[in-house]
Amino acid sequence: MRRRELAALAAAAALPALPGRAQQTQAPAGEERLVFELKDGPVTIQFLPDVAPRHVERIKLLVGRGFYDGTPFHRVIEGFMAQGGDPTGTGTGGARDLPDLPAEFTNKYRFTRGICGMARSSEPNSANSQFFIMFGPSPSLDGKYTIWGRGVAGMEAVDKIKRGDPPNGIVRGPDRLLRARLVAA
């Protein structure tokens, strides 16, 4: 491609810098990826709609609303996972205008480094907006939590998310997910 064509494509793909939680444009049709902008760089997540179509659609809907922008990583446990997606930062918040999702458990993938799962209460069908990204393997979660994506680039930025206090990992002065956006793969 010529330089002008590349510049036009880059401009078309760029998202406007809007204040607050403005509506964001979505990537073109086809396979999309999720990009989390963190303080230490971007993290690219591949969606897994073949195993969790409802959860993938929920994440895309919330990203399109700007729901995740500025939300804290409120629970971060060394060697385990970083949890976010709660605008209140308490671990009890969610997208209150949307119903909870039925579980979409799978044995196709395991909870290993970079896997993204949906947080929930003790009720399996209670996932809403909160998610977590794995720092390392945790076989105890396999088949018990919905897997909706996997980190394919930028995990070094996830590794730098501020950790919480043992044993529950609650973070004081948490790092935030600066911006979430959809991009064409």
Residue 41 lies in a domain: yes
Q: What is the largest CA-CA distance in the chain?
A: 55
Contact (CB, 8 A) for 19 and 174: no
Contact (CB, 8 A) for 120 and 58: no
What are the tokens at 7?
Answer: 């510049």
What are the tokens at 13?
Answer: 């793909």
- Residue 127 has phi, psi (to 5 degrees) of -65, 145
Distance of alpha carbon 25 from alpha carbon 143, whole angstroms:
34
Distance of CA 51 to the CA centre of its chain: 16
**How many structural domains comprise the chain?**
1
Residue 10 lies in a domain: no
What are the tokens at 6?
Answer: 């590349």
- Residue 150 has phi, psi (to 5 degrees) of -150, 140
Distance of alpha carbon 77 from alpha carbon 165, whole angstroms:
8
pLDDT interval class at 30 (50, 70, 90):
low
Residue 16 lies in a domain: no
Q: Which of 154, 152, 149 is nearest to 132 (CA)?
A: 149
CATH number at residue 87: 2.40.100.10
More confident call, 73 vs 13: 73
Residue 11 lies in a domain: no
- Predicted pLDDT at 10: 35
- Predicted pLDDT at 31: 87
Residue 26 lies in a domain: no
Residue 143 lies in a domain: yes
pLDDT tens profile 100-148: 999 999 999 999 999 999 999 999 999 999 999 999 999 999 999 999 9
Residue 81 lies in a domain: yes
Boundaries of domain holding 67: 32-184
Residue 17 lies in a domain: no
